[in-house]
Each structure stands twice: as C-alpha cells, then as structure tokens.
Structure 1
Amino acid sequence: MKRLIYLVMILLMVTVVSACGPEEPDVITLMSHDSFAISEETLSIFEEENGVTVELLPSGDTGAALNQAILAKDAPLADLFFGVDNTFMGRALVGDIFEPYASPLLAEIPDELELDNENRLLPVDYGDVCLNYDKAWFAENNLPLPQTLADLTNPAYEGLLVVQNPATSSPGLAFLLATIAEFGEDGYLGFWADLRANDVLVTNGWEEAYYGSFTVASDGERPLVVSYASSPPAEVIFADPPVEEAPSASLVASGMCYRQVEFVGILAGTEKRELAEKLVDFMLGQTFQEDMPLNMFVYPANENAELPAEFVAWTQVPEETAVLAPEIIDANREQWIEAWTETVLR
C-alpha cells in the first residue's frame, strides 16, 4: 500500500512539473505601417534582454493603419504603434489613442523633432521628401537644374516630372504640403494648374513613380521624381553591378523639401505598460537607431547615433525644409487634397 501511495505521489509530481514546464516568453505587439523594417538581430537583442517576443503587426499605409488603431480604441490591437508622421499627427492625437510617456532617451532627441509636448508621440526617425533628379540625363541634355519649385512650371521642364497622388501616397502628400507652404493656400492650386499644363505625370504611389517612370530606376522618361533625400544612397547600396557614386541626387534648396518625422506611441489600454516603455526606450536608443538607416532609409532621431558611411557620402540634408503645423494639416488635409484632385486630375 505504501508503495502504491509512493508511486501516485511520484506521478503527481511529474504531472505538476510537466504542467509548469518552461514558461512561454511574454509577447508585446507593435503595430505599424507596412514599411517598418528592422533587422532580426537588433530585435532579438531586446527580446533576449527582456524575455519577451515582439510581435509585429503591419497594417497597411500610414493612414490606413492609423484608422484601424482609432477604430479599435476600446479593444486595442497592439501595445504600441509606430509610423504616425507629422502629416497624420493631428488626427492621431485627436483620436486620443496614446498614453503619455516621457522616455529618458528624449534627452538625446533634438527639440525640433519633439512635436507633441505631452509625449504621447515620441520621435523615432525623420526623412526629407525632395525632388530627385537623374544626374546623367541633365548633364547629357545640358539642361540646368530647377532652383525653385516655381521653376518646374517653365517650358524647359515640360514632361520631365513625375509625382504621387497625395490622396494615396505619403510622399505625394508631403510634396503637396511643401507646395502649400511655399505658395500659400491662395497660390498652390495655381502652381499645380501650371504643372498640369506642363505635363506633370501623377502616379498612385512611390514605387510606381520611382520604378515605373524615373529614368534612373526604370525605362521611363522622367528624370525628375518626388522621392526622398535618402534615395541616392540606396541607389549605391543596392546597385547591381556595383557603382562608385549615386546616379541620382536631390534638389535641396530652401522650400523644396518637406521633412517627415515618424513617431512611436504607447497605445492606451495596453496591459503591458512597463514592457511598452522599455520597447520605446530601445527604439530611441543607439542600437535600434543605428540599424534603421539601411533598413528603412531614414535618419535616426537620436543625435548620438552614428550614420552609415553611405548616408554621409550620398545623402543631402536641406538647410531649411518646408513646415506646416500638425494641427493646421489636420484641419485642412482633406479639403486640400480634394481641391488638388479637382485641379490636377479632373
């Protein structure tokens, strides 16, 4: 009888140990737009340090992803959201979906990138939407480069420019905002009417414009494209066969570029606030920040992060970018896009 009791106790102990087994790592979910990218090696550093798995939830372009997050406010889809930029910042804050968090890493972020004084959205990266040009094409055709946005309406540049629809494209919207900042609400539609008369080409998205029409990256016939100041280094890094210099460059004169700042925020209602804070700190720290440029081709917000050599060599940084306050953008975005559509597409 004693032996039977002993065997039963052993079986119970084995069952308990098996049930308790090694604990599954905790999971924290980061919602983002589809263009979010970071190396597995970098993400694994955070996971190993915190005994957690980071689950990525790409959810479309910035506008679509943000809309999903706002609609799911009462039952959040994730713990954090990355990818709200300053063109959608007003909508995000009005939606009241983020919890404030004053990360200690903000001490390493320039003040001009910190656009939310309540720290609901914390800056992670920035990039400049500019006009990129085909260096060889302009040299071969002996055509001077446009020095201002207004120059683009000159007959010399007829049929040379491809842009993106601001209703469907983030860089397209940024470029529209640059023209509003430059010409004002009373003048930007006149500029666009002149561009239409000068045979501007409009595509739905960046890839279609860059890889479908831009002479540097396609068989297209347009040597001017709305893109990013960080596009030229990508042309060097991914060149096959290798090249010694970037075939494209950016026009960075005052008022010709629009700076996009991307943010991360902790979603209200998360049950993993402490882990969410740690992930925000990690994203603002040097390890993550120094891995971003060659994954997303953006500039790190942390001023202590070192840039890859290719960025230093081939990216031009505008001295003065176009600026519109997030609340002004949010109040007028839809009517500006509708007016643009009437002027340029209809």
Structure 2
Amino acid sequence: MKPKIFLIIVCLVLISLFACSKEDQDQDEAQTTITETQTVTIMTHDSFSVSKEVVSKFEARFHAKIIILKSGDAGEALNKAILSKNNPLADIFYGVDNTFLSRALDAQIFVPYAPLHLDAVDPVLRLDASNRLVPVDFGDVCLNYDIKWFKEKNKVPPAMLEDLIKPAYKGLTVVENPATSSPGLAFLLATISRFGQDGYIDYWQKLKANEVLVTNGWKEAYWGKFTAASDGDKPIVVSYASSPAAEVFFSETKIDEAPTGIVIENGSAFRQIEFAGILKGTSNMELAKKTMDFILSKDFQEDIPLQMFVFPANKTAELPDVFKKHAGITKEPAFLDPQLIDTKRDVWIREWTEEVLQ
C-alpha cells in the first residue's frame, strides 16, 4: 500500500473514532441532564391554579419540574395526605385552610420551615407559630347580591346576617350545604361566630322559615340560582368578597362597575386562610424548601388573584387593578379558634343538617 493512501485511511479511521466518541459523550451528557432533572410534587385541591408563565419561571430558575397533584376538595385532599403519611404522595401540600388547620397539624405530617419572604406576611394570618404550615393566600366568604335586581325592585340590599331572616327577604337567598361545600362551611362558621354556639341554630331555623334555598355546591348556587349570573330567582347568594372582581374580569363586554355587591361588615364574612407546608418524608428537602420560598415570592403571589381569585398573603405583592377596584376585604371578619373548629366542626354540621335539611 502506498504511504499516501495509508495515511488517508488512518486519518479517516481516526475521524470516525473521534466522531463516535463525541456522539457517545453527547449522549452521556444528555442522559446525565435527564437523570439530574429534579421534580417537586405539589399536592393540592381541585381549585388550585397557576399560570404557565410562573411555572416556567420556577423550572428555569431551579432546573426542576413542578408536578401538580390535584386530589379533590380541600378536606378530601388533606385526608389523602394524612392516610399516605408513611409513603407521601408529594413533597408539598398546598391548600389546608383554617377550618382544617388543627387536624392537619395534629396529624404531624409537616416539617417546620420558615420560607423566604415570610416576614412580608401579615402576622394575623400566621396561625402556626412553628411554621409547619405558612399562609399563602386568603379571602372572605360572604353574601353577594344582585345590584340591578334590588334597584329594579326598589328594595334595600342586605347589610348584615340578621337581615336575611326579615320578611322583606323571604325566599331571596341561596346558600351552600356546609357538609359538601367549602364556602357553605365558611358561612355556617360565620353564623356561629355571630350568634354563638347557643344561638346559631335558632338563626338557621328562622332562615329556613324564611325559605332559604340550600344547594350542594357553589357552582349550583352561583351559576344556577343567582339572578346576577343565571336565570335563577335568588338575588342573594353565599360567595366570595372577590366575586365582583371576577364578574368584571370575565365579563364578555367591558364593564366599569361590578354587577354584584357584597356584605362584609358586622361580622358577616368569614376569612378563609390557605396554608402550605413541606410534607414529612419528602425525598428532596432542599428543592422543597426552594419551592416554598418561591410560593411566597412576588412572582407566585402576584399570580394568585387572577388565577384563584383570592388575595396573596405576601403584603408586597402588587394587586391587579380589577382587584384593587372591585374585590373586598372585611375589616372585621368573623372568627373562631381553629382548635374549636376542629373539635366541633362535625357536631355543628350534624346539628345544622338535622335542623335545616330534615
């Protein structure tokens, strides 16, 4: 073989070997990247929502993927987390509210952690001193009324819970069953706060006599019976103090004023506070901590209002204009101790069911 031809063959072989080696290296690096991509799973209720843009920010910042595990309503999701505590289904739980706070803490399924930005959260919202559960959002459950209906009928809208049992409001109100609805339970607790454990049943008996309508859930009440949102005949409904903002935001035609009013004074509104915490047994504690930091960051907190129509817990988070103008916050929310709620919740629901539904 001629030397020149031999050199050419050698060069081709070396190039081929280098190319194969480089391809193998690239494949190894790609495989390493795939292997090293971390995931964090957030277990939550079915109403949870976050924008794709915010999820992308988190994933780019921490080179990790978020998995959202929706697990039913808040109570159902918490029960699943408790039942799986020896083999947790997620790293973080989002959505324990103050009606289930004591049950969640007593189950001892959360790890204490004080996230970044926790000092920007109003101390009034921080109901767990050990930071096993930290506040992430809040909103007020209250009466909503159809402004146009009351104007056309030349009637005065309700201003407090006591108004609902007056003859003038007979047959005008729809509420949700506290055994099957989160706002329904919050409204029941508002009445217990207002009238006491010895007086709330008397109030509900009078409300029943005044032909209050009870539905199983919020959608059935608001979109099925409420005159401002449906062909129903009830101009008063139990909803949220942020519902007027949602009405404006989702209106098919641009409107400057909300079609609904809210009743939030005189202890008429119950404040729901949602919490999140790291589940014991997480396989990735450091990423779980970073996720909790992110949940209280402005990036996530400023996304909350137009995703879930509640208020961010971080006071430095900027509210969208529609919230500033149309969403309400009561200055005097109805209050019951979370431990008392946990102890008496089932008793109150049973008493309510016996008096109102039977």
Q: State the TM bucket, normalised to the shorter chain.
A: over 0.9
SS of alignment partner, residue 281 of structure 1: helix
Amino acid at match of 1:95: A
Corresponding residue number in structure 1 for 2:84: 72
> In the TM superposition, what is the alpha-carbon distance from 1:247 to its structure 2 partner?
0.2
Amino acid at match of 1:52: A
Corresponding residue number in structure 1 for 2:179: 167
> In 2, Cα distance between the equivalents of 1:131 and 1:148?
9
Moved more, 321-330 or 8-17: 8-17
SS of alignment partner, residue 95 of structure 2: strand
2:198 to 182, 186, 194: 186
> In 2, Cα distance between the equivalents of 1:75 and 1:9?
47
Native 8 Å contact 2:121 2:315 kept in 1 = yes
Native 8 Å contact 2:143 2:238 kept in 1 = yes
> In the TM superposition, what is the alpha-carbon distance from 1:17 to its structure 2 partner?
4.9
SS of alignment partner, residue 190 of structure 1: helix
SS of alignment partner, residue 339 of structure 1: helix
SS of alignment partner, residue 145 of structure 2: strand
SS of alignment partner, residue 128 of structure 1: strand
1:107 to 119, 122, 128: 119
Corresponding residue number in structure 1 for 2:336: 324
> In 1, Cα distance between the equivalents of 2:89 and 2:270?
31
Identity %: 53
Per-residue deviation, residues 274-305 of structure 1 (Å, max 9, x unmatched): 11111111111111111110110000111111
Native 8 Å contact 1:161 1:200 kept in 2 = yes
Corresponding residue number in structure 2 for 1:42: 54
Structure 2, unpaired ranges of 5+: 1-9
Corresponding residue number in structure 2 for 1:139: 151
> In 2, Cα distance between the equivalents of 1:240 and 1:305?
28
> In the TM superposition, what is the alpha-carbon distance from 1:147 to its structure 2 partner?
2.4
2:27 to 8, 18, 21: 18
Per-residue deviation, residues 232-273 of structure 1 (Å, max 9, x unmatched): 011011111222210001011121000000011000010111
Q: Are 1:55 and 2:67 an aligned pair? A: yes
Alignment of 1:325-344 (within 5 A): 325-344=337-356
Native 8 Å contact 1:165 1:172 kept in 2 = yes
Per-residue deviation, residues 197-241 of structure 1 (Å, max 9, x unmatched): 111011111111000000000000000000000000110111112
> In the TM superposition, what is the alpha-carbon distance from 1:177 to its structure 2 partner?
0.3
SS of alignment partner, residue 115 of structure 1: coil
Amino acid at match of 2:122: P
TM normalised by structure 1 equals: 0.96
Q: Are 1:33 and 2:45 an aligned pair? A: yes
TM normalised by structure 2 equals: 0.92
> In 1, Cα distance between the equivalents of 2:19 and 2:247?
66
Amino acid at match of 1:275: L
Q: Are 1:235 and 2:247 an aligned pair? A: yes
Corresponding residue number in structure 2 for 1:98: 110
SS of alignment partner, residue 331 of structure 1: helix
Higher radius of gyration, 1 or 2: 2
Alignment of 1:134-283 (within 5 A): 134-283=146-295
Per-residue deviation, residues 15-73 of structure 1 (Å, max 9, x unmatched): 56524424122111001001111110011101100000000101110011000000000
Superposed CA RMSD: 1.6
Corresponding residue number in structure 1 for 2:5: none
Amino acid at match of 1:238: F
